Amino acid sequence: MTEIRSLSPADEACLCRAYASTQKGGTLIAEDVHDLEAHEQRLAQPNSYRPASCPRCGSKLHIHDLRPRGLRGEPAVATEVLRFRCADRERCGGGWQVLPAFLARCLWGSWARVAGALAGEGPSPVPQRTRRRWRARLAGSARMLVGVLSTASDGGTWVALASAVGLGARRIDVLRGYAAARTRWSEAFIPEACFAELAAAVHRLCPGVRLM
C-alpha cells in the first residue's frame, strides 16, 4: 500500500451514502452471476433476472429495457444490463437495474480489473491516478462497512468477519480478513471474487453503501 493519500471527506461520504428512503429505485446485484458467460445466458432469458418484487413497494416488476453497461478499457466484458420498472407506476414508479456480481458498481469495470490493478505496482491498464484513489479508499476507515456487515442475518460469515476485524479496521483489512477466511489466501493478492462477494453483501445489507 504505497502512495497513500488521505481520503477526502467527499470521497468518504460517497462510499458511505445509503439510498435515501425517498429514492425511486437503484441497483440490485445478482450475487450468483460470476462471469460474462453466465450473465449473457441470463440476458437471453430476461425473466431469469426479474426480481421477485419491487424492493420499494412489493409490487410486480416489468422488464423496462436493456442498457449498455459502460466499461472503461475492457472491451472483452462490454455488455448490457437489464432494467425493470415497478408495475405500480402511480404510487411507486421505482426503476431497478440488475447488475451481475462480477461488475463493480460505480467503478466502471469488472472486479477482475480492480483486483488486478491493486495487485502490484507493475504496468496496469488502469491509470495510476485511479489506482491511487482506489488505494486511498481501501486505506480508509471501515467503520460503517463493519457496522453494516454486523447486521447480516444470513449465516454467520459476515457477522463473524465484522467481529474479527473490529470497528477500527480499514477497508483493506476487511477485504483481507474475508479473503483469508474464504480462500485461506495469505498473499497480498486478493482474488476478484472476494471484492465481488463483499461488495454485493454490503450493498444488499445497506443499499448504496460501497466497499470502495
Footprint on this chain of Zn ion (rule: CB under 5 A): 54, 56-57, 59, 86, 92, 94
Whose Cβ is closer to Zn ion: residue 82's or residue 161's?
82
The x, y and z cell numbers of residue 191, run together, are: 482474488
Whose Cβ is closer to Zn ion: residue 64's or residue 132's?
64
For residue 85, the minimal CB distance to Zn ion (Å) is 9
Whose Cβ is closer to Zn ion: residue 86's or residue 175's?
86
Whose Cβ is closer to Zn ion: residue 94's or residue 140's?
94
For residue 54, the minimal CB distance to Zn ion (Å) is 3
- Is residue 78 within 8 A of residue 45, CB to CB? The reply is no
Whose Cβ is closer to Zn ion: residue 86's or residue 114's?
86
- Is residue 195 within 8 A of residue 111, CB to CB? The reply is yes
- Is residue 30 within 8 A of residue 101, CB to CB? The reply is yes
Whose Cβ is closer to Zn ion: residue 86's or residue 199's?
86
E strand residue ranges, the chain: 25-30, 61-69, 79-86, 95-100, 103-104, 109-110
For residue 90, the minimal CB distance to Zn ion (Å) is 10
- Is residue 140 within 8 A of residue 15, CB to CB? The reply is yes
The x, y and z cell numbers of residue 4, run together, are: 497513500
For residue 20, the minimal CB distance to Zn ion (Å) is 15
For residue 23, the minimal CB distance to Zn ion (Å) is 12
- Is residue 194 within 8 A of residue 178, CB to CB? The reply is yes
Rounded to a whole number of angstroms, the CA Rg of the chain reads 17
- Compute the distance between CA of residue 140 and CA of residue 170 in angstroms, rounded to an integer: 5
For residue 64, the minimal CB distance to Zn ion (Å) is 12
User: Beta partners for 99?
Assistant: 29
